[in-house]
């Protein structure tokens, strides 16, 4: 009798807990229970600001998109199973990835410098948020003194113009001399480069009179200088940023996936226009970053896109920054 009572009581309690947790009986009808507030969906921060000497460095999330991959976009020169095994080892799915877009703002105390401008408001869903987030960070577009273009892919220059007008009305501009020459050549107007070249004509060329054209080692402004990082595009640039004895490297699209491009820098990336040059550049830039133990910001690294790398036998291990630049 005692065991029967215990079992019956347990069953009754289980049934009542099931109703309380997931169902509600009204007039003999069982209906799903609702939470006190509706779910809001995935949320991520949009603004991250750190100190580098006397400079303030702000990463701003223009948006992020989910896509198939990483293979064959990353590792198209190796077997899909090899890519999947590396991703599984790093706790990542092999069939889908999230790609973030992260423009960077440097406030030197004298000038506000924007590196790349995101996709632009109308270019793709789930991105094009840069100007809105910039305002949310406490900086208006009219306060921007200088816009630096690392290269001319659409997710970097799409936000130069909004609603037919320059998004940063008081800014001057800087771009790699080789990059500008490549994309404005009449040869780019047809074939696989046609769409990108058309966007350059629409968003970049009208700003030419306000542009400085950069070469290797040029000082953009005091504390910021260029690093040739050719391969992703013919004139792709990275930047060395220094203030108060602190240093950071802005790598732009030198590496675009924190596992597939860094742990395996020799894997081809579909969007690299010169695959061999891009591989050599990845190794050159990240060998330097690892040896010098300095932080970097990569445009497509997981937001806030600030981290370090440790050299390994085959490539580099990505170490996200935590509080190093907030002390």
CATH number of the domain enclosing 82: 3.60.15.10
Q: What pLDDT is recorded for position 14?
A: 47
Residues 192 and 299 placed together within one structural domain of the fold: yes
Strands (E), the chain: 23-26, 29-32, 47-52, 55-60, 63-68, 96-101, 104-107, 112-115, 146-149, 161-162, 165-166, 172-176, 211-214, 219-221, 224-228, 237-243, 246-252, 296-298, 306-311, 316-320
In a domain, 326, yes or no: no
Q: What pLDDT is recorded for position 28?
A: 57
Rounded distance between C-alpha atoms, residue 210 and residue 160, angstroms: 13
Residues 26 and 163 placed together within one structural domain of the fold: no
In a domain, 37, yes or no: no
User: Residue 20 sits in which domain range?
Assistant: 2-32
Residues 107 and 214 placed together within one structural domain of the fold: yes
Residue 141 preceded by cis peptide, ω within 30: no
Residue 101, beta-bridge partner list = 63
In a domain, 327, yes or no: no
In a domain, 26, yes or no: yes
Give the pTM: 0.89
Residues 24 and 59 placed together within one structural domain of the fold: no
Residues 100 and 202 placed together within one structural domain of the fold: yes
Q: Kind of pairing, strands 161-162 and 146-149?
A: unpaired
Residues 83 and 149 placed together within one structural domain of the fold: yes
In a domain, 39, yes or no: no
What proportions of the chain, in percent to the nearest 5, are helix, strand and coil? Answer: 30, 30, 40
pLDDT tens track of the chain, all 327 residues? Answer: 444 434 444 444 444 444 444 444 445 566 666 668 888 888 889 999 999 999 999 999 999 999 999 999 999 999 999 999 999 999 999 999 999 999 999 999 999 999 999 999 988 889 999 999 999 999 999 999 999 999 999 999 999 999 999 999 999 999 999 999 999 999 999 999 999 999 999 999 999 999 999 999 999 999 999 999 999 999 999 999 999 999 999 999 999 999 999 999 999 999 999 999 999 999 999 999 999 999 999 999 999 999 999 999 999 999 999 999 999
Residue whose C-alpha is closest to residue 100's, from 313, 302, 327, 318: 302
In a domain, 167, yes or no: yes
Domain count, the chain: 2
Rounded distance between C-alpha atoms, residue 82 and residue 154, angstroms: 30
Residues 193 and 303 placed together within one structural domain of the fold: yes
Residues 8 and 90 placed together within one structural domain of the fold: no
Residues 12 and 79 placed together within one structural domain of the fold: no
Residues 148 and 267 placed together within one structural domain of the fold: yes
Residues 12 and 160 placed together within one structural domain of the fold: no
In a domain, 119, yes or no: yes
In a domain, 221, yes or no: yes
Residues 51 and 27 placed together within one structural domain of the fold: no
């Amino acid at each position: 009798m005692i065991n029967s009572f215990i079992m019956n009581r347990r069953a009754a309690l289980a049934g009542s807990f099931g109703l309380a947790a997931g169902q509600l009986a009204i007039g003999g009808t069982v209906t799903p229970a609702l939470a006190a507030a509706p779910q809001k969906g995935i949320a991520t921060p949009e603004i991250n600001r750190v100190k580098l000497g006397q400079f303030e460095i702000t990463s701003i999330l223009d948006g992020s998109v989910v896509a198939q991959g990483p293979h064959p976009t990353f590792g198209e020169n190796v077997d899909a199973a090899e890519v999947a095994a590396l991703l599984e080892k790093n706790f990542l799915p092999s069939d889908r990835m999230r790609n973030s877009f992260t423009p960077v703002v440097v406030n030197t105390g004298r000038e506000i410098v924007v590196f790349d401008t995101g996709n632009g408001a109308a270019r793709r869903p789930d991105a094009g948020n840069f100007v809105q987030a910039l305002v949310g960070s406490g900086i208006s577009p009219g306060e921007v003194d200088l816009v630096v273009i690392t290269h001319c892919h659409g997710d970097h220059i799409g936000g130069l113009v909004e609603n037919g007008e320059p998004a940063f009305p008081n800014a001057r501009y800087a771009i790699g001399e080789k990059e500008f020459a490549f994309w404005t050549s009449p040869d780019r107007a047809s074939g696989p480069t046609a769409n990108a070249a058309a966007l350059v004509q629409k968003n970049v060329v009208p700003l030419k009179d306000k542009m400085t054209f950069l070469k290797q080692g040029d000082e953009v402004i005091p504390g910021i200088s260029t690093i040739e990082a050719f391969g992703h595009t013919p004139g792709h640039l990275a930047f060395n940023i220094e203030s108060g004895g602190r240093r950071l490297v802005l790598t732009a699209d030198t590496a675009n996936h924190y596992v597939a491009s860094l742990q395996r820098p020799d894997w081809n990336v579909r969007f690299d226009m010169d695959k061999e040059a891009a591989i050599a550049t990845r190794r050159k830039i990240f060998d330097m970053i690892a040896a010098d133990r300095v932080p970097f910001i990569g445009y497509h690294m997981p937001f806030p896109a600030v981290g370090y790398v440790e050299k390994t036998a085959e490539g580099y291990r990505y170490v996200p920054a935590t509080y190093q630049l907030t002390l």
